[in-house]
């Protein structure tokens, strides 16, 4: 195969420190992968890039990939699509415009809230305020330190001894800002709501929240590149930075649906738990008593996924998780009609190995685990406008109520 034409597509995206990436008139293309040859050229393209180029990596035939293309490459990409007969569609016409419209035009009066997205410092100072305000029910855990030396924190909400514990891990992927906003919204509701159903959830279960797991990546999306996904650790073998932390867990690590190339968005890392962030949370999870349900918050696609990702084979309690998933997505859709799909990772989305929920289920023996992929379906993608934080949080909260109810009925909680 002649890869010469691919070489001219190379996108050099070097930033000097302090500079923020701009995506003026950049397009996002969605590409249908219909055969092995197309998959191969798209993967070749990814491996020759610095990881920024793709939004969704080309993982398998019959799935889509999404790429960001700079205006001066439009002609090249069109020629490339034609050469390999790649069916494609422009998902976003001007990525910078989406980013500019993500935050509200006004400045909210509150120092913290859910009308705009906040950075790590703001989230952490809000947690500090909560800890002062609710000293009897909240406990802080500084359970790890990131590659760039940031503290990785969890808070546990417990109102009585002996409760089963439910774990919410959020923002393992840096650019998925809606996840931190939703996790903090839910924590706030749990502490302050007078809704009897929420009060019951808080009374009878302990809740552990990790609002931002990939702290370095999250900080980087605020300072430099809004579209960053991975961790920020460099490797001697490559000039590309970071691993996909959700392929880095020690369960079928480096198996199908993850990459061995450091430039890929789904790079699994040089070895299991090579990233301090994933290692720290795995050690922390092992210390959590009576852990019955593990959840990981992501965006986007509107999916509710459960194990496994490394195989199409069904998990032993697949039927139960499917039943819980079905009730949950029914509840989610009731409020605003937002339609989710539920299923095991491999069948509902794609093969993916080394994810946190598979590890929690397969190694830490948590009996049920789920990944939420929040709004939307690609219209804004990761750049979900801030005025959707509250609607997204409310429907997810409806889903959580149903999830816990059904899990309890099936005797998991
Ligand atoms: Zn994600």
Compute, in angstroms, the gap from residue 304 CA to the centroid of ligand 1.
12
Q: Name the residue with higher pLDDT: 47 or 161.
A: 161
Judged against a pLDDT cut of 70, whether residue 217 lies above it is answered with yes
Compute, in angstroms, the gap from residue 77 CA to the centroid of ligand 1.
26
Q: What band does 51 get if pLDDT is binned at 50, 70 and 90?
A: very low
Task: Using a pLDDT cut of 70, give the percent of the chain over it.
Answer: 94
3-class DSSP string for the chain: CCCHHHHCCCCCCCCCCCCCCCCCCCEEEEEECCCHHHHHHHHHHHHCCCCCCEEECCCCCCCEEEEEECHHHHHHHHHHHHHCCCCEEEEECCHHHHHHCCCCCCCCCCCCCCCCCCCHHHHHHHHHHHHHHCCCCEEEEEEEECCCCCEEEEEEECCCCCCCEEEEEECCCCCCHHHHHHHHHHHHHHHHCCCHHHHHHHHHCEEEEECCCCHHHHHHHHHCCCCCCCCCCECCCCCCECCCHHHCCCCCCCCCCCECCCCCCCECCCCCCCCHHHHHHHHHHHHCCCEEEEEEEEECCCEEEECCCCCCCCCCCHHHHHHHHHHHHHHHHHHHCCCCEEEEHHHHCCCCCCCHHHHHHHCCCCCEEEEEEECCCCCCCCCCCHHHHHHHHHHHHHHHHHHHHHHHHCCCC
The active-site residue, picked from 169, 275, 277, 373, is: 373
Compute, in angstroms, the gap from residue 171 CA to the centroid of ligand 1.
7
pLDDT at 350: 86
Compute, in angstroms, the gap from residue 328 CA to the centroid of ligand 1.
20
Compute, in angstroms, the gap from residue 5 CA to the centroid of ligand 1.
31
Q: What band does 349 get if pLDDT is binned at 50, 70 and 90?
A: confident
Mean pLDDT in residue range 236-263? 92
pLDDT at 88: 96
Compute, in angstroms, the gap from residue 1 CA to the centroid of ligand 1.
33
Q: Is 373 a catalytic residue?
A: yes
Which residue, 252, 377, 228, is CA-closest to 308? 252
Compute, in angstroms, the gap from residue 309 CA to the centroid of ligand 1.
14
For tokens 């009609």, what's the residue? Answer: 337
The first and second tokens of residue 147, run together, are 């590659």
The first and second tokens of residue 19, run together, are 């500079």
pLDDT at 49: 56
Q: What band does 3 get if pLDDT is binned at 50, 70 and 90?
A: very low
Q: List the end-to-end C-alpha distance of the chain, in Å, as a whole number.
A: 55
Compute, in angstroms, the gap from residue 107 CA to the centroid of ligand 1.
28
Q: What band does 2 get if pLDDT is binned at 50, 70 and 90?
A: very low
pLDDT at 59: 82
23-100, CATH topology level: Alpha-Beta Plaits (3.30.70)
Compute, in angstroms, the gap from residue 296 CA to the centroid of ligand 1.
9
Could you tell me the residue ranges of all domains in the chain? 23-100, 120-409
Compute, in angstroms, the gap from residue 271 CA to the centroid of ligand 1.
20
Judged against a pLDDT cut of 80, whether residue 52 lies above it is answered with no
Compute, in angstroms, the gap from residue 134 CA to the centroid of ligand 1.
31
pLDDT at 24: 95
pLDDT at 37: 94
Compute, in angstroms, the gap from residue 374 CA to the centroid of ligand 1.
10
**β-bridge partners, 166:** 207, 293
102-111, 115-124, 165-174: which has the minimum mean pLDDT?
102-111
Q: Which CATH number fits domain 120-409: 3.40.630.10, 3.40.190.170, 2.60.40.10, 3.90.1150.10?
A: 3.40.630.10
The set of residues, in sequence order, having a beta carbon less than 8 Å from that of 135 and lying 6+ positions away, is none
Average pLDDT, the chain: 93
pLDDT at 46: 80
Mean pLDDT in residue range 315-341? 98
Task: Using a pLDDT cut of 90, give the percent of the chain over it.
Answer: 82
Q: What band does 12 get if pLDDT is binned at 50, 70 and 90?
A: very low
Compute, in angstroms, the gap from residue 173 CA to the centroid of ligand 1.
5
pLDDT at 207: 98
């Amino acid at each position: 195969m002649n890869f010469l034409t691919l070489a001219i597509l190379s996108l050099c995206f070097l930033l000097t420190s302090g500079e923020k990436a701009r995506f003026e008139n950049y397009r996002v293309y969605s590409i249908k992968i219909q055969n092995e040859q197309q998959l191969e050229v798209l993967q070749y393209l990814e491996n020759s890039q610095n990881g920024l180029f793709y939004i969704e990596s080309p993982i398998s035939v019959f799935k889509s990939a999404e790429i960001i293309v700079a205006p001066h490459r439009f002609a090249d990409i069109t020629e490339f699509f034609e050469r390999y007969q790649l069916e494609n569609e422009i998902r976003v016409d001007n990525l910078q415009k989406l980013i500019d419209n993500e935050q509200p035009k006004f400045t909210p009066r509150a120092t913290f809230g859910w009308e705009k997205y906040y950075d790590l410092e703001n989230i952490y100072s809000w947690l500090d305020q909560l800890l002062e305000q609710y000293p009897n029910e909240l406990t802080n855990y500084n359970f790890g330190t990131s590659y760039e030396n940031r503290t990785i924190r969890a808070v546990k909400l417990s109102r009585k001894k002996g409760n089963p514990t439910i774990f919410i891990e959020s923002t393992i992927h840096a650019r998925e800002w809606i996840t931190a906003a939703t996790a903090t919204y839910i924590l706030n509701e749990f502490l302050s709501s007078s809704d009897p159903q929420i009060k019951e959830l808080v009374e009878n279960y302990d809740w552990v929240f990790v609002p931002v797991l990939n702290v370095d990546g999250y900080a980087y999306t605020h300072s430099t590149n809004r579209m960053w996904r991975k961790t920020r650790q460099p490797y001697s073998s490559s000039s590309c930075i970071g691993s996909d932390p959700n392929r880095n867990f020690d369960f079928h690590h480096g198996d199908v649906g993850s990459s061995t190339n450091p430039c890929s968005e789904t790079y699994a890392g040089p070895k299991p738990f090579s990233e301090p962030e994933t290692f720290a949370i795995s050690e922390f999870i092992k210390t959590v008593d009576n852990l019955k349900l593990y959840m990981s918050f992501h965006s986007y696609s509107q999916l509710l996924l459960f194990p496994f990702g490394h195989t199409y084979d069904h998990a032993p309690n697949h039927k139960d998780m499917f039943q819980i998933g079905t009730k949950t997505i029914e509840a989610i859709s009731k409020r605003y009609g937002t339609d989710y799909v539920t299923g095991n990772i491999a069948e509902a989305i794609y093969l993916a190995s080394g994810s946190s929920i598979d590890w929690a289920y397969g190694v830490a023996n948590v009996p049920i685990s789920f990944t939420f992929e929040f709004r939307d379906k690609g219209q804004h993608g990761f750049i979900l406008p801030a005025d959707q934080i509250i609607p997204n949080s409310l429907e997810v909260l409806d889903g959580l109520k149903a999830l816990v109810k059904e899990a309890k009925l099936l005797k998991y909680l």
